[in-house]
Structure 1
Amino acid sequence: MTSHHTGRIRTDIAHNARVWNHWLRGKDNYPVDRAVGDRVTSLHPGIGEVARADRAFLGRAVTYLAAEAGIRQFLDIGTGLPTADNTHEVAQRAAPDARIVYVDNDPIVLTHARALLTGTPQGATEYVDADAHDPQAILAAAGRTLDLARPVAVMMLGILNFVLDTDEARRIVRTLMAAVPSGSHLVLTHPTADPELGGEDNVAAMEFWNANATPPITARTRAEFTSFLEGLEVLEPGVVSCSLWRPGPGQPPPVVAQFGAVARKP
């Protein structure tokens, strides 16, 4: 089996960061990722649209936070493989002195991120190898680049769905938000099987994913998603399909089965 391992990189089993990259029409993926990604697409034809809607939501949320809310520090957990308009690029376009810490625990992401994620000279862009299941380790590492006494935007886009226990997922969010001051923000997206967002396709797609790829994934209901925001002020328009969070002018975007929200710590 050694031929499949490059350090911790497995090329014989599909991995979330690389499959997501394939859906975003990127090049940083292996045949196994494309095969699993295409099979998921056959079960859930809108999944590429979800991936692109999630990226577009990230852009709008980070632009709002940097340009309007005055946020200069971003902790992006579960960042995935770099594509266009990563958090630091969006933030530093609005605020060149913005500081960004990316967190992921996938070695292939680590390699690409260190090579590609270079920000403005007046800001900072750092990469931390840590697991979302260990928020204390994330905070300890992030504190070397970010001032946790000043407001931070904690970003968890499509990452809590890999924390299978909802109580544990809630604890992770609470631990992170307890460590940052008033004026900090939480930015979340999460897949759902709720019919209100057309999430029925997610059920078969996730079952297939969990049998054929890593890490395992779960959908959550509106109520479960909303529970992650307890104690925070949820900004307008509230908990919506991430494609409908403050969309730009023009055609209303298609609804995707991915909740999105931005909330402020009072």
Structure 2
Amino acid sequence: MLDDLLRRHDGVITLDQAKASGLSADSVQRLVASGHWRRCARGVYFVDDRPFTDAARIRSAVWGYGKQAAASGLAAAWWQGLTRFAPEVTEITVPRNSHGRRRAGCRVRRRDLAPTDLTSCRGLCVTARPLTVVEAATRPGGGAAIMDAALQGGSPLRELWQAHLRNKGRYGSPSARRLLFAAQDGARSEAERLLVKALRVAGITGWLANHPAGPYVIDVAFPDLGVAIEIDGWAFHSDPEKFRSDRRRQNYLIVNGWQVLRFTWLDITAYPERVIGTIRSAISAR
């Protein structure tokens, strides 16, 4: 029973779990004194016969703040497979009235979360996926890519908005609101504005915004060169009709001699230099 628990919990165990497995407090102290177990925090231990992985680090950090603590931010995002790399600092959310020392490698957020904003994943309490996406997208090292990936992966935008509205006033809330508005209906217009600004800063000329082409309007066009730039927001990921409409428009432009470049909100906000480089290559080749 103890071996199975340790295997499922990345080698991390609490004093209460050890007692439930048949060990006394004295037995635990002897294991620590002998070097077989390592004390990570008060009442939290790591069985030192295996690598101390990122999962063990995050689990022990969260459990070290008590039973009501939850992994949040990028720690919760990594735990739920939303990011590839584990953050160096573990963000932990605890109730407002909780106590506990600050510890190296941890960042504590004190707030009371609704039950719907918490879930258990592999035996660890973490913020539920919608709140995790909304928060991790605003953290340094996270970014809009997390929300973009979640929307493409089927996370309903409505659920992200609901999680945001339940937790207004938290750290990163204004940034999350801007991202959600962009995902909802403003990504294309906001991305157009940012692209126009980037073109001006780069000194690129010869383009027109909202240029008519037959029954369609090109977001940004180089009419003399036949280069059309089309911008996708986020909402199109989950809107089949919008997807089909965009493809019909693209096919029309190509048939009528336009070279079409497509960029997403994420491209323009996160990788503007790459976008400008691609545009330069396209217009210099015409």
TM-score, with length taken from structure 2: 0.25
Q: Which has the higher helix share?
A: 2
Greater relative CO, 1 or 2 (CA 8 Å, sep 6+): 1
